[in-house]
């Protein structure tokens, strides 16, 4: 949980999907700036030690999210949802 100005500014969850993989999910932030998004994301990633794979599902039309995730080395994988 990210606290800013004595209020909850963001939260995230970490879901273990198998022995080697974690999913960063349910990340949410309030009306605070993009810097808060980065802080919340960093908190999620920094809380993981010695993991082999971290996955993240998000809508690719979110430009700021695309930029942030690319900056951290995530690779886009197109999913077949049919």
**Model confidence pLDDT, tens digit, residues 38-74:** 776 677 677 777 788 888 888 778 777 788 788 888 8
Alpha helices by DSSP H, the chain: 34-46, 63-71
Q: How far is CA 29 from CA 11, 55, 78, in A?
A: 7, 19, 25
Q: Is the pLDDT of residue 20 over 70?
A: yes
Going by DSSP bridges, is the β-strand pair 2-4/7-18 parallel, antiparallel, or unpaired? antiparallel
User: What mean pLDDT comes out for the span 7-13?
Assistant: 76
Model confidence at 13: pLDDT above 70? yes
Write down the pLDDT at residue 79. 77
Higher pLDDT, 10 or 75: 75
Residue with tokens 């049919």: 82
Q: What is the pTM of this model?
A: 0.63
């Amino acid at each position: 949980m990210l606290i800013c100005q004595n209020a909850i500014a963001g939260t995230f969850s970490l879901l273990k999907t198998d022995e080697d993989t974690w999913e960063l999910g349910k990340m949410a932030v309030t009306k605070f700036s993009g810097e808060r998004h980065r802080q919340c994301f960093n908190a999620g990633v920094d809380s993981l030690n010695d993991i082999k794979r971290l996955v993240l599902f998000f809508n690719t039309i979110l430009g700021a999210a695309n930029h942030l995730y690319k900056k951290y080395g995530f690779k886009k994988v197109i999913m077949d949802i049919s």
